[in-house]
Chains A and B, each alone.
Chain A
Amino acid sequence: MTTRQFGQPVQRREDPRLLTGGGRYLDDLGHTAYEAAFVRSPHAHARIVDIDTDDAIDVDGVIAIYTHEDLPGIIGEPLPLLIPHPALTQARTGYALAKDEVNHVGEAVVMVVATNRYVAEDAVERIRVSYERLPAVVGIEAARDGSQTVHDEYDDNVSAHLLQEVGDVEAALAAAPHTLTLDLEIERSACQPLEGKGVLAQWNSDDESLRIYSSTQTSTGVRAAVAAKLGLPLAKVECIAPDVGGGFGVKIMHPWPEEVLVPWAARNLDHDVKWTEDRREHFISSSHERGQLQQVTVGFDDEGRLLALDVKFWHDNGAYTPYGIIVPIITATQLLGPYKPGTYRVEFWSLFTNTVLVTPYRGAGRPQGCFAMERTMDAIARYLEIDRAEVRARNFILPEEMPYDHGLMFQDGRPLKYDSGDFPASLAKLKELVGWDDFADYRAAAEAEGRKVGLGIGCYVEGTGVGPYEGGHIHVETDGRVNVATGLTTQGQGHQTALAQIVADELGVPFENVHVTTGDTRRMAYAVGTFASRAAVMSGNAVALAARVVKAKALRIAADALEVSPDDLEIENGVISVKGAPGNSIDIGTVAVMSNPLRYAFDEAAKKATQFAGTFDPDKPPVGDDEEPGLEGQDFYSPTQATFANGMHAAIVETDPQTAEITILRYCVIHDCGNMINPLIVEGQIHGGVAQGVGGALYERMVYDDSGQLLNASFMDFLMPYASEVPHVEADHLETPSPLNPLGIKGAGEAGTIPVSAVIASAIEDAEGFPITAMPISPSELWTLRRAHA
């Protein structure tokens, strides 16, 4: 019996190649391409008065210089609003190159194409843009105040205002025995993948076709967007995501200005053109996230049970809203976590500021929501002097209450309805893992040494695997090689391993024979993209369904050949045999030969499929009425709703009594993503997620000054944690399968990130004895808080 691959900690097959420098990232491609660089706005808010390119055009090696005036027709129109929403009443998107006005530092104003990037940057330096500066709106308070506006055509800075209510919150608050109000704040951060964005466009003037390579999370999205902007038939555009060095959300936003401009310039110039984003460009022109002010009013009973939860928050969406209001919608809905709120009212204002736009970053609004909810849980526990884990347990949705419908609309426009999860079991595992009930002793021992420690906890639920769909295409070659294609993209998740595990099992072929291609529109033209912890759920199930299609076909053909019923056959290790008679068999490669009748023999395998080769029924056509040639097939997976993963984290943190330095001593995770395809990959996702969460909790922020300059636009001053700052993560799993999909899986990609700020705030608060209401927190800030609370 072949070992089932699903559930095995199979080593990632892509790692040897990636770790030994074999990766082919965007900048590794297109060595003969012209290269682009951009003049970007030095001001947060200004009118463009004049652009003088005279000195630049003479720089040796400059090929072309473009401003907004040069962009014809639709290319010069605003970039698309990707996700409209009825509440987004004052939407604005930017232009590929700024038209008349700039709204954040870093906005592209002029594009230079040159023989290489050095020359392009030399030319950029010589371009003089005259600006008339306008007042900049920086920070949520300034945006909310609204005395200055980002966009002239609107009277305030509110792009969207949305209120959802379940039950009568006013009445429940009035009747509640206890109420508390918390004012909370979460800073900005950003994805910061190690590889920034990048585009290579190759125009073929002979057949008027375009090939785009983009460091993107959605090649189908970029393809469609560029075809629309350039007025090209979809059939003449292909888009490929090569190896992509991380995404974390910033690359699901599309099309970026450069994704439109570089292909357009390539066609214009009839020459390959490439742009590779540098780190400073990434900081000032690629999306940020987080950034909210929140106010929570909660009513609860003597046992700490929620009666009413009333949440208002103000979300900084930056200068433009191309990705709609997905982030605040997720905050508003996922804030509830594993709890029943009694009654719930959530109201948010999404606000324009003269800063880089805000689109989803791993966690996508959930870390903010989790922070609000979990700070509230701790506040209730503190107020009632009840154990913090116990307060949470008293408010859990119970397993027998699944599926649980919150009565709200989720980010996919569908009901917020939890499908699975066992929160009491997860909490019990977490308490055991971290030693929750023994922490008093742990603290006493530390105090005896003059040390200060605290224990923190945070719980979350994550809607994963949102639709609309993904597909899988599987093609078996005559030598038994199995080619699997799915259209969503890979940024290091291990899809080549995980999806191959699924197909190997479903089809009954050796894992080694299965080869997975992602993010290539030549191989699978129908796809959505990699985001929202959806790849395993969506493409995992899609390739499983496709494998079942191909398996059925293989059995049909083999049954004919072996003169048995398909029901009597099984496939194992690539060999189809009659159950109970293993000698009576045919290998899947031979079935592939038989599936494709040939006129011409070009190799030994093909010879077996030619018209004079062997036995065939002269009364039947070579390809049957309902058949197609080739052992291949495809299928799509499209769920009715998201599937909800969950997790609970706990941390023990030490704060230095004198220096206020903060050290995470232990970090424990209980994670439930349903059936795990590959526990090794799931744990890797958790480790990476926690690392980014630690960044958000203790290190990372976007330091804008009042004029809208980003003061820390480099890895020297934007403190992404090093390995030395990331704690060892102790992870354990609970597997409550999702009933919603054939494989019973739920997403895992964002899980590690979501609760970390809440957990660390909880632990610091426990160590220090005063409330922590704003994250991230630095030693300097903690020391200042200590003095305020002394």
Chain B
Amino acid sequence: MKPGPFRYLAPTTLEEAVRALGEHPDAKVLAGGQSLIPVLSMRLARPTHLVDLAGIAGLGEVEVSDEWVRVGALVTHARLLADEDGYAALPLLRQALRNVAHPAIRNRGTTVGSIAHADAAGEMPSILAITDGVVEAFGPQGRREIPASEFFAGALETTLAHDEVIEAVRFGRFPGGTTTAFLESARRKGDYAMAGVAVALTVDESGQITSARASFVSVTDVPGVLDLTGALAGRIPTDVDWSVIDDAVQDHIEPEADIHVSAEYRAHLAGELARRAFAQAAATHPGGNS
């Protein structure tokens, strides 16, 4: 379990990084390395070059605006988890990040890296989806923005070009009157989830639902958003019997079996977690129980 030979490049600017990627079609970008390094060690990937972003200035910031929480490419999960402004602006970030692996991995792994990796079992891609987030890509032609809905192309696949790097991602903030919840169930704490769900529930001043959305972990190929607003608009959250969403959830997800769980159980679990997450989000509304 030792990597094969590769060249290590340490650019100090995004331009240099992008140039290196352009020159080397089999290069890989290295940030926290929590997915890439094990893959290299097991020789499941043989990149000729690693382009390490660690020496590029300006990628380590968390910035909060009225509309966004912007997270730089080198911000670790641990850094974002601890960010009070980010939490105040978008509590769902912390609700989800608590479930990302273990402290040791969160200390090195980057949130942007996990989004670039686009593993459907990762938590943060689904958070980017449900927040209508945006990926800020930097390439030879400069900057471009890719909405989450256009970013994830398939399991471990994105629409990022080979010679582009993600400079930052922006998670969208929810309107006032929104509560969120994130639930997942893993075989062991910190493992990839058997199933997970993020929900956001928005009510108007009269307490009636104006938006209800969910995105899932480990039960879809690509993190998309399930919009349940049509079925729930106008209802009072604490009055809803959340089993009304069951059919829509089951239609949305495409669970598969693995060595730990059957597809049927995974579907059942995703449905149950979705009900519980909405109930939790409902209960945390001002009109709710807690």
Q: Is chain B found bound to chain A in the same assembly?
A: yes
- Hey, which bits of chain A sit against chain B, CB under 8 A? 117-118, 121-122, 125, 278-280, 658-661, 699, 703, 711-712, 714, 716-717, 719, 721-722, 724-725, 778-780, 783-784
Residues of A contacting B204 in the complex (Cβ-Cβ under 8 angstroms): none
B189 touches A780 (CB 8 A): no
B260 touches A778 (CB 8 A): yes
Residues of A contacting B143 in the complex (Cβ-Cβ under 8 angstroms): none
Q: Can you give 21 A-B contacts (C-beta < 8 A)?
A: A118-B4, A121-B1, A121-B43, A125-B43, A279-B1, A280-B1, A659-B273, A661-B185, A699-B187, A717-B259, A717-B260, A719-B260, A722-B102, A724-B188, A724-B189, A725-B189, A779-B261, A780-B260, A780-B261, A780-B265, A784-B265
Does B177 count as interface, using CB distance less than 8 angstroms?
no
| Separation of A279 and B272 alpha carbons in the complex (Å) | 36
Q: Mark B193-237, 1 if CB is under 8 A from A, else 0.
A: 010000000000000000000000000000000000000000000
| Separation of A712 and B260 alpha carbons in the complex (Å) | 10
Partner of B5, one of A122, A278, A703: A122
A724 touches B190 (CB 8 A): yes
| Separation of A705 and B21 alpha carbons in the complex (Å) | 39
Residues of A contacting B188 in the complex (Cβ-Cβ under 8 angstroms): 699, 719, 721-722, 724-725
B261 touches A778 (CB 8 A): yes
State the 8 A-B residue pairs at the shortest beta-carbon distance, nearest first: A724-B189, A780-B265, A278-B1, A780-B261, A118-B2, A703-B259, A658-B272, A121-B2
A611–chain B nearest beta-carbon distance, Å: 61
Does B191 count as interface, using CB distance less than 8 angstroms?
yes
A37–chain B nearest beta-carbon distance, Å: 8
Residues of B contacting A658 in the complex (Cβ-Cβ under 8 angstroms): 272
Interface hits, B261-290 → A, CB 8 Å: 261-262, 264-266, 268-269, 272-273
- B-side interface size class: 20 to 34
Q: Which residue of A lies closest to B189 (CB)?
A: A724
Given contacts A118-B3, A716-B191, 15 further A-B contacts (CB under 8 A): A121-B4, A125-B4, A659-B269, A661-B185, A711-B259, A719-B187, A719-B191, A722-B189, A724-B188, A725-B189, A778-B261, A779-B194, A779-B261, A780-B261, A784-B265
| Separation of A703 and B257 alpha carbons in the complex (Å) | 14
B11–chain A nearest beta-carbon distance, Å: 25
Of the candidates A280, A659, A661, A780, the one having the most CB atoms from chain B within 10 angstroms of its own CB is A780
Residues of B contacting A721 in the complex (Cβ-Cβ under 8 angstroms): 188
A783 touches B1 (CB 8 A): no
| Separation of A117 and B42 alpha carbons in the complex (Å) | 13
Of the candidates A279, A280, A699, A719, the one having the most CB atoms from chain B within 10 angstroms of its own CB is A719
Partner of A659, one of B102, B264, B272: B272
Residues of A contacting B185 in the complex (Cβ-Cβ under 8 angstroms): 659, 661, 779
| Separation of A658 and B185 alpha carbons in the complex (Å) | 12
Residues of A contacting B262 in the complex (Cβ-Cβ under 8 angstroms): 780, 784
Residues of A contacting B42 in the complex (Cβ-Cβ under 8 angstroms): 280, 714
| Separation of A721 and B189 alpha carbons in the complex (Å) | 9
| Separation of A717 and B260 alpha carbons in the complex (Å) | 8
| Separation of A721 and B3 alpha carbons in the complex (Å) | 28
Residues of B contacting A716 in the complex (Cβ-Cβ under 8 angstroms): 191
A-B contacts at CB below 8 angstroms, number: 68
Residues of A contacting B102 in the complex (Cβ-Cβ under 8 angstroms): 722
| Separation of A783 and B270 alpha carbons in the complex (Å) | 14
Q: Which residue of A lies closest to B263 (CB)?
A: A780
| Separation of A681 and B260 alpha carbons in the complex (Å) | 35
| Separation of A118 and B43 alpha carbons in the complex (Å) | 11
| Separation of A699 and B186 alpha carbons in the complex (Å) | 12
| Separation of A711 and B260 alpha carbons in the complex (Å) | 11
| Separation of A279 and B1 alpha carbons in the complex (Å) | 8
Of the candidates A118, A659, A660, A721, the one having the most CB atoms from chain B within 10 angstroms of its own CB is A659
A778 touches B268 (CB 8 A): no
Residues of A contacting B266 in the complex (Cβ-Cβ under 8 angstroms): 780
Residues of A contacting B273 in the complex (Cβ-Cβ under 8 angstroms): 659
Residues of A contacting B190 in the complex (Cβ-Cβ under 8 angstroms): 722, 724
B219–chain A nearest beta-carbon distance, Å: 14
B104–chain A nearest beta-carbon distance, Å: 11
Q: Which residue of A lies closest to B258 (CB)?
A: A717
A59–chain B nearest beta-carbon distance, Å: 10
With A722-B188, A722-B190, A725-B188: A779-B3 Cβ-Cβ less than 8 Å = no
A779 touches B189 (CB 8 A): no
| Separation of A716 and B185 alpha carbons in the complex (Å) | 16
Residues of B contacting A699 in the complex (Cβ-Cβ under 8 angstroms): 187-188
| Separation of A352 and B189 alpha carbons in the complex (Å) | 36
Residues of A contacting B189 in the complex (Cβ-Cβ under 8 angstroms): 722, 724-725
Q: Which residue of B lies closest to A698 (CB)?
A: B187
Q: Which residue of A lies closest to B195 (CB)?
A: A659
Of the candidates B4, B102, B260, the one having the most CB atoms from chain A within 10 angstroms of its own CB is B260
| Separation of A721 and B194 alpha carbons in the complex (Å) | 16
B21–chain A nearest beta-carbon distance, Å: 25
B140–chain A nearest beta-carbon distance, Å: 33
Residues of B contacting A660 in the complex (Cβ-Cβ under 8 angstroms): 265
| Separation of A118 and B266 alpha carbons in the complex (Å) | 40
Residues of B contacting A118 in the complex (Cβ-Cβ under 8 angstroms): 2-5
Interface hits, B225-252 → A, CB 8 Å: none
Q: Which residue of B lies closest to A121 (CB)?
A: B2
B43 touches A779 (CB 8 A): no
Of the candidates A117, A712, A717, the one having the most CB atoms from chain B within 10 angstroms of its own CB is A717
Residues of B contacting A717 in the complex (Cβ-Cβ under 8 angstroms): 259-260
Q: Which residue of B lies closest to A703 (CB)?
A: B259
| Separation of A778 and B194 alpha carbons in the complex (Å) | 12
With A719-B188, A721-B188: A779-B2 Cβ-Cβ less than 8 Å = no
Q: Mark B1-29, 1 if CB is under 8 A from A, else 0.
A: 11111000000000000000000000000
Q: Which residue of B lies closest to A117 (CB)?
A: B2
B4–chain A nearest beta-carbon distance, Å: 6
A779 touches B259 (CB 8 A): no
Residues of B contacting A659 in the complex (Cβ-Cβ under 8 angstroms): 185, 268-269, 272-273
Residues of B contacting A121 in the complex (Cβ-Cβ under 8 angstroms): 1-2, 4, 43
A258–chain B nearest beta-carbon distance, Å: 16
| Separation of A153 and B168 alpha carbons in the complex (Å) | 64
A471–chain B nearest beta-carbon distance, Å: 39
| Separation of A730 and B259 alpha carbons in the complex (Å) | 33
Residues of B contacting A779 in the complex (Cβ-Cβ under 8 angstroms): 185, 187, 194, 261, 265, 269
With A117-B2, A121-B2, A784-B265: A778-B272 Cβ-Cβ less than 8 Å = no
B187 touches A778 (CB 8 A): yes
Of the candidates A279, A699, A712, A783, the one having the most CB atoms from chain B within 10 angstroms of its own CB is A783
B170–chain A nearest beta-carbon distance, Å: 31
| Separation of A784 and B273 alpha carbons in the complex (Å) | 18
Q: Which residue of A lies closest to B42 (CB)?
A: A280
Q: Which residue of B lies closest to A37 (CB)?
A: B2
Q: Which residue of A lies closest to B272 (CB)?
A: A658
Residues of A contacting B269 in the complex (Cβ-Cβ under 8 angstroms): 659, 779
Q: Which residue of A lies closest to B266 (CB)?
A: A780
Residues of B contacting A783 in the complex (Cβ-Cβ under 8 angstroms): 265, 268
| Separation of A725 and B188 alpha carbons in the complex (Å) | 7
Q: Which residue of B lies closest to A712 (CB)?
A: B259
Residues of A contacting B1 in the complex (Cβ-Cβ under 8 angstroms): 121, 278-280
| Separation of A725 and B102 alpha carbons in the complex (Å) | 13
A190–chain B nearest beta-carbon distance, Å: 16
Residues of A contacting B264 in the complex (Cβ-Cβ under 8 angstroms): 784
Of the candidates B43, B189, B259, the one having the most CB atoms from chain A within 10 angstroms of its own CB is B259
| Separation of A717 and B42 alpha carbons in the complex (Å) | 14
A122 touches B265 (CB 8 A): no
| Separation of A191 and B180 alpha carbons in the complex (Å) | 42
| Separation of A784 and B260 alpha carbons in the complex (Å) | 13
B78–chain A nearest beta-carbon distance, Å: 18
Residues of B contacting A724 in the complex (Cβ-Cβ under 8 angstroms): 188-190
| Separation of A117 and B265 alpha carbons in the complex (Å) | 43
B254–chain A nearest beta-carbon distance, Å: 17
B64–chain A nearest beta-carbon distance, Å: 31
| Separation of A711 and B188 alpha carbons in the complex (Å) | 18
